[in-house]
A and B are shown apart, each in its own frame.
Chain A
Amino acid sequence: MGLPVSTLLMTTGFLLVLIGMWGILRHRNILRIIIGFGLFDTGLHIVMVATGYITGGTAPIIDTALGIEQATTRAVDPVPSALVVTAIVIGFSVTAIMLAFAIRIHDARKTLSIDALTESKW
Chain B
Amino acid sequence: MKAASSLLAVLLFGAVFAGIVGGYGERESVSALAEQYLAMVPRELGAPNVVTGILITYRGFDTLGEVAVLFMVAAGVGVLLGGKDTTTASEPGREPRRPSELVGNGAEITLPLIFLFGAYVIKNGHLSAGGGFQGGAVVASGTMLLMLALPATKLNHGFLGVTESLAGVVYVGIGILGLVFAAGFLDSHILPLGEFGTLISAGAIPVISALLGVKVGAELSVIIDRFRN
B186 to chain A, nearest CB (A): 15
B99 to chain A, nearest CB (A): 22
B133 lies within 8 A of chain A by Cβ: yes
* Residue among B29, B34, B38, B49 having the largest count of chain A Cβ atoms under 10 Å: B38
Count contacts between A and B, CB distance < 8 Å. 141
A interface, size bucket: 35 or more
A120 lies within 8 A of chain B by Cβ: no
Q: Among the listed stretches B19-27, B102-110, B114-122, B167-175, which one makes contact with chain A, having 4 or more residues with CB under 8 Å of it?
A: B19-27
Q: Are A4 and B26 in touch, CB under 8 angstroms?
A: yes
Interface of A is mostly: helix
Give residues in A with beta carbon < 8 Å to B. Answer: 4-7, 10-11, 14, 17-18, 21-22, 25-26, 51-55, 57, 59-63, 68, 71-73, 75-79, 81-82, 85-86, 88-90, 92-93, 96-97, 99-101, 103-104, 107
Give residues in B with beta carbon < 8 Å to A. Answer: 3, 6, 9-10, 13-14, 17-18, 20-21, 24, 26-31, 33-35, 37-39, 42-43, 48-51, 54-55, 59, 62, 66, 69-70, 72-73, 76-77, 80-81, 84, 127-129, 131, 133, 197, 223, 226-227
Given contacts A53-B26, A61-B48, A79-B31, 20 further A-B contacts (CB under 8 A): A7-B21, A7-B24, A14-B18, A21-B10, A26-B6, A54-B29, A60-B38, A62-B197, A72-B30, A75-B30, A77-B34, A78-B50, A78-B54, A82-B55, A85-B55, A85-B66, A85-B131, A89-B133, A92-B73, A96-B73
Q: Which 10 A-B pairs have the closest CB atoms?
A: A14-B17, A60-B50, A25-B6, A62-B48, A100-B80, A93-B73, A4-B26, A77-B34, A82-B54, A78-B50
